[in-house]
């Protein structure tokens, strides 16, 4: 019996369009209207400033623990920018710039990070899912949404976000397999930020890339410089167009870096070096995009200064509004809402007993 090589004709490409200095590969430059480029820049800038402000609020004890996004703005925003509003956006929990792009308010982020689930309430006209904490589990929902969108003969697609750690989860593999078997119009967007809390990408898998895992499921996989928003956008656009036109799912690996902590409860000094972080600072996605826009003549130092002051005010007013809003959200009885369409009898009894307890407590405090 012969021992022959099986010819698997697939390959994995890597795309980078802007280098670390913001210099452009003209041949690959996607055609993006100026206004759209500026909106992207503004959203990245806002998301970064907001992230920094949230970190300081957390350190002051004014919000709870949260997962910062600094360094990953291009990876998730560039991908989400390739979606239409009617497409399904299926986040993990480190996609704040994309959520802002899709219309999520800053105050809702603050509310959520202050322990109010009112902060992930989704507007009626939005096709965005609330954040999903159990790693990788949301990937399957995108498959179901994408399948359903096609069943209903719409041209909507679904895009699921997750990190490098999620590619070790069973749901990642099951999700990619199902999407490919059913040719669901789904895009799987991996933000490979190199660290799953303390566990490095190099140990997460022996695969050379995460993108190549797509090949085992019979779908295209592509690796992208995740700190280059033009490259991410171009790759996502291609995948979205393919899905929309019936060409099935794609896995995109955005190679990026988590510049800050995993969450504010984490101390990265325990597992990674300052030198590594310094190396990645040089590849900052915002600085790179900024240089490109300045070279292109659509952005200037003056405009940036103006934007900086506007964004500062926007963030401050969101903080003020959220603090105002939280004053009316204190009633713990609200925690009984939205468990079922209709509250079952025994739960109603529990809610009523709790209401009596609250009333009695109120009286005791009045007299105390």
Q: Name the residues that contact another protein, by CB under 8 A.
A: 88, 117-118, 120-124, 126, 129-130, 132-134, 137-149, 151-152, 158, 170-171, 174-175, 177-178, 181-182, 337-341, 344-347
**The two structure tokens encoding residue 297:** 């003549």
Q: Which of 277, 247, 237 is nearest to 15 (CA)?
A: 237
Q: Which of 344, 68, 350 is nearest to 358 (CA)?
A: 350
Residue 348 Cβ vs another protein, minimum distance, rounded to whole Å: 10
HEC string of 71-85? CCHHHHHHHHCCCCC
Residue 158: its H or E element: strand 158-163
Residue among 33 and 340 whose Cβ is closer to another protein:
340
Residue among 103 and 344 whose Cβ is closer to another protein:
344
Residue 33 Cβ vs another protein, minimum distance, rounded to whole Å: 31
Residue among 174 and 323 whose Cβ is closer to another protein:
174
Residue 180 Cβ vs another protein, minimum distance, rounded to whole Å: 10
Contact (Cβ atoms closer than 8 angstroms) between residue 155 and residue 119: no
Looking at residue 106, what DSSP letter applies?
H
Active site residue 262: yes
Residue 341 Cβ vs another protein, minimum distance, rounded to whole Å: 4
Catalytic residue among 104, 201, 262, 283: 262
Residue 75 Cβ vs another protein, minimum distance, rounded to whole Å: 23
Question: How far is 194 from 91, CA to CA, in rounded Å?
Answer: 18
Contact (Cβ atoms closer than 8 angstroms) between residue 79 and residue 252: yes
Catalytic residue among 194, 201, 244, 258: 258
Question: How far is 215 from 212, CA to CA, in rounded Å?
Answer: 5
Contact (Cβ atoms closer than 8 angstroms) between residue 171 and residue 204: no
- Give me the DSSP letters along 309-323: HHHHHHHHHHHHHHH
Residue 305 Cβ vs another protein, minimum distance, rounded to whole Å: 39
Residue among 20 and 118 whose Cβ is closer to another protein:
118
- Give me the DSSP letters along 9-30: ----EEE--B-TT--B-GGG--
Alpha helix stretches (DSSP H) within 193-344: 201-204, 213-216, 229-244, 274-281, 285-296, 301-327
**The two structure tokens encoding residue 73:** 């703005």
Catalytic residue among 59, 271, 338, 356: 271
The two beta strands, 195-196 and 199-200, are: antiparallel
Catalytically active residues are 258, 262, 271
């Amino acid at each position: 019996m012969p021992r022959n090589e099986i010819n698997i004709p697939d390959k994995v490409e890597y795309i980078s369009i802007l280098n670390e200095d913001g210099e452009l590969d003209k041949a690959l430059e996607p055609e993006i209207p100026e206004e759209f480029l500026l909106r992207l820049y503004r959203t990245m800038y806002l998301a970064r400033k907001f992230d920094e402000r949230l970190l300081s609020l957390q350190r002051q004890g004014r919000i709870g623990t949260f997962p910062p996004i600094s360094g990953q703005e291009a990876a998730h925003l560039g991908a989400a920018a390739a979606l239409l509003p009617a497409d399904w956006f299926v986040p993990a929990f480190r996609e704040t710039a994309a959520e802002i792009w899709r219309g999520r308010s800053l105050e809702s982020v603050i509310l959520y990070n202050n322990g109010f689930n009112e902060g992930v309430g989704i507007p009626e006209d939005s096709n965005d899912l609330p954040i999903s904490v159990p790693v990788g589990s949301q990937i399957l929902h995108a498959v179901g949404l994408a399948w359903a969108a096609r069943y209903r003969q719409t041209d909507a697609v679904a895009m699921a976000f997750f990190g490098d750690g999620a590619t070790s989860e069973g749901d990642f593999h099951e999700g990619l397999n199902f999407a490919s078997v059913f040719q669901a119009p789904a895009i799987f967007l991996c933000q490979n930020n190199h660290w799953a809390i303390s566990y490095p990408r190099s140990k997460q898998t022996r695969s050379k890339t995460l993108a190549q895992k797509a090949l085992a499921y019979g779908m295209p996989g592509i690796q992208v410089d995740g700190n280059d928003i033009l490259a991410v956008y171009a790759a996502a656009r291609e995948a979205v167009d393919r899905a929309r036109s019936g060409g099935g799912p794609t896995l995109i690996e955005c190679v990026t870096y988590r510049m800050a902590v995993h969450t504010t409860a984490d101390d990265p000094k325990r597992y990674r070096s300052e030198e590594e972080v310094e190396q990645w600072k040089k590849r900052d996605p915002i600085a790179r995009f900024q240089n490109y826009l300045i070279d292109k003549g659509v952005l200037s130092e003056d405009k940036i200064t103006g934007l900086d002051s506007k964004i500062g005010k926007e963030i401050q007013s969101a903080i003020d509004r959220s603090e105002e809003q939280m004053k009316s959200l204190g009633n713990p009885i609200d925690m009984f809402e939205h468990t079922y369409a209709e509250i079952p009898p025994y739960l109603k009894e529990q809610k009523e007993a709790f209401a009596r307890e609250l009333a009695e407590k109120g009286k005791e405090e009045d007299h105390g």
